[in-house]
Amino acid sequence: MVSTSERRSHRGGRRRGGRARGGRRRGPSRRAPTTAGDVVRGVFRTIGELMFTAGLVMLLFAAFQVYGKQFETDKEQDQLAKGLESQWEKGPDSKPLPGSANSRMYIPSLDLDWVVVNGVEQEDIKYSPGHYPYTADAGQKGNYSVAGHRTPGIFWDLDRLRDGDDIVLEDAENFYTYKVVEDEVITPDQMRVVAPDPFADGADPFDKAQRKTADKAMLTLTTCHPKLQNAHRYIVHAELAETRSKDKGMPDNIADMAPEEGAMAEKKGE
């Protein structure tokens, strides 16, 4: 008779600290050898990760270039507004300098307004629209023409303007309301758009005779097109519809757009 202890010693099964009967002893794990394909895939994976990172950095930089300058533009506009008020107080005999304040422009449908500076060189229009120096003054017969960058805070949404929309210019004495009459896309060499009559045959902004014979007061805005590119120019033309003396206060269409510094007419009425 076999004792209980003897029967237990003959039972099969896994021994503690050993291996299962009939099983395969586990040896150390082995990795498959690295092949040329593995190396190539690793290289491409690394390149892809680097390209993704570089693309993200470039995207963030581009976003700053487009939107991050809004703060700088607002700050510079505040300084220009102070300079414009000071210039108006000196009277019309003060000689405008390139880059100095020229007028104020309002576009009610975009809820935007700016101080317009003299000149259209890159440095002049860095933070503000600029007046083409060889074009008419605000409210005069001819074509008061303005260039601005296609950036947020300047002419980013210029293509949202529609026929009949108001554009208001303010100088030391008057408010001038222009009505949009046309928009167009041109190549950069088509300077006729800032001529005294941009729709006339042979329109030339440098022709003094055309300046003298201009029979209507126009306003033209120019900017790059499409956004973030400069292959073409987006143009908005408007015609003078009303002249209002500043003694009568701001026109109704911009009454709620008075700058924080206060328009000169508002100051006079206090």
* pLDDT single digits (tens) 85-144: 888 887 765 566 677 889 999 999 999 999 999 999 999 999 999 999 999 999 999 999
Q: How far apart are CA 235 and CA 193, in angstroms?
A: 8
- Give the pLDDT of residue 88: 86
- Give the pLDDT of residue 62: 58
Residues recorded for the chain: 270
**Of the residues 10, 131, 149, 225, which is catalytic?**
149
Q: How far apart are CA 16 and CA 38, in angstroms?
A: 41
Give yes or no: 224 in active site: yes
- Give the pLDDT of residue 146: 98
The pLDDT confidence band at residue 26, using thresholds 50, 70 and 90, is: low
- At residue 40, φ and ψ (nearest 5 deg) are -60, -45
- Give the pLDDT of residue 53: 75
CATH fold of 65-254 reads Sortase; Chain: A; (2.40.260)
* pLDDT single digits (tens) 169-200: 999 999 999 999 999 999 999 999 999 999 99
Q: Environment class of residue 261 by beta-carbon count within 10 Å: exposed (0-12), middle (13-18) or buried (19+)?
A: middle
Give yes or no: 131 in active site: no
What are the sequence ranges of the domains in the chain? 65-254
**Of the residues 10, 131, 224, 225, which is catalytic?**
224
The token pair at 185 is 């896309």
* pLDDT at residue 7 greater than cutoff 90: no
